[in-house]
Amino acid sequence: MIQKEFADKVVEIVKKNPDVIGLAVAGSWITDELDEYSDLDLVLITKNKISDDREKMMKYAKSFGNFISGFTGEHVGEPRLLICLYDDPLLHVDIKFLTLPEFHDRIENPIVLFERDDQLTDIIKFTKAEWPQPDFQWIEDRMWTWVHYIASKAARGEYFECMDGLGFIRARVLAPLMQKKNKMPVRGLRKAEKTLKLPDLEDLKITVPQYNKTSILKALDNTISIYKMLRRKLFTDKVKLQELAEKRAMVYFKKVKS
């Protein structure tokens, strides 16, 4: 498989660099789910910090293969990530540049491909990876303002904005809450078609609108109903419900629908 062939070549390259402490791989590789469409998620651990210097990051990336292009991952909240495209064969490779102390804080345990003096293995053995969980209060505090926003844009005829907003709620609220409900890793919409239970998947489908006001308002209505159902199942009394915001947003939504 091309991902493993690429990783093997990178291992041989970084072994020769004394500044490299280790190389690990994350993502689909961990769960043995690599296929021909998979990206390669590399984690490079160095003695000296690399991620504060884009040119140094690029220099490493260019040494690993037939480099086409690369850019840092601020848009996904991870500036230490370099997102790369390689050729011969064409392959998407994400490279996260970490120092050894930064490796302690991780969401999953990667597979170590190369290390010096068991330094990565020891960290994995004695510290715990923690996958981010949905923050129920964060969601509830925002949900009804989002509902009002989408309804107002539907009334104005800004349908692309509405579709984008519904997609955001689907990815950041509904799918994570469904995964939490089913005690699954919270990965948003990644591989949702394969991992979610059929009733949940069908619920997600009815939040996808067509480009017209009627369809968008129906999708928003479905989104609200699904959210409230998930909220009943998951939220404890520690979560303060935004009752006034919900009431006023729903009055507005019903006005737009009528």
Output the 3-class SS for 104-117: CCCCCCCEEEEECC
- Spell out, as residue ranges, where the chain has pLDDT lower than 70: none
Maximum CA extent, the chain: 69
- pLDDT given for residue 33 in this prediction: 82
Beta bridge partners, 164, equal: none
- pLDDT given for residue 165 in this prediction: 97
- pLDDT given for residue 256 in this prediction: 96
For 28, 41, 60, 83, 91, the CA distances from 95, given in Å and listed in that order, are 14, 6, 10, 6, 13
- pLDDT given for residue 84 in this prediction: 98
Q: What one-letter code names the amino acid at 232?
A: R
Distance between CA atoms of residues 158 and 149, nearest Å: 11
Phi, psi for 73 (deg, rounded to 5) = -100, 35
The residue ranges of every structural domain in the chain are 2-126, 136-257
Fold assignment, 136-257? Four Helix Bundle (Hemerythrin (Met), subunit A) (1.20.120)
Q: Which string of DSSP letters, residue by residue, matches 40-96? A: EEEEEEESS--TT-HHHHHHHHHHSSEEEEEEEEGGGTEEEEEEEEEETTTEEEEEE
Put simply, whether the predicted model's pTM sits higher than 0.85 gets the answer no
Question: CB of 223 within 8 A of CB of 207?
Answer: yes
- pLDDT given for residue 195 in this prediction: 87
- pLDDT given for residue 159 in this prediction: 98
- pLDDT given for residue 77 in this prediction: 84
User: Among 3.30.460.10, 3.40.50.1820, 3.90.1570.10, 3.30.56.10, what is the CATH number of 2-126?
Assistant: 3.30.460.10
Would you tell me the crossing angle of helices 136-156 and 243-257 to the nearest 10 degrees?
20
- pLDDT given for residue 119 in this prediction: 95
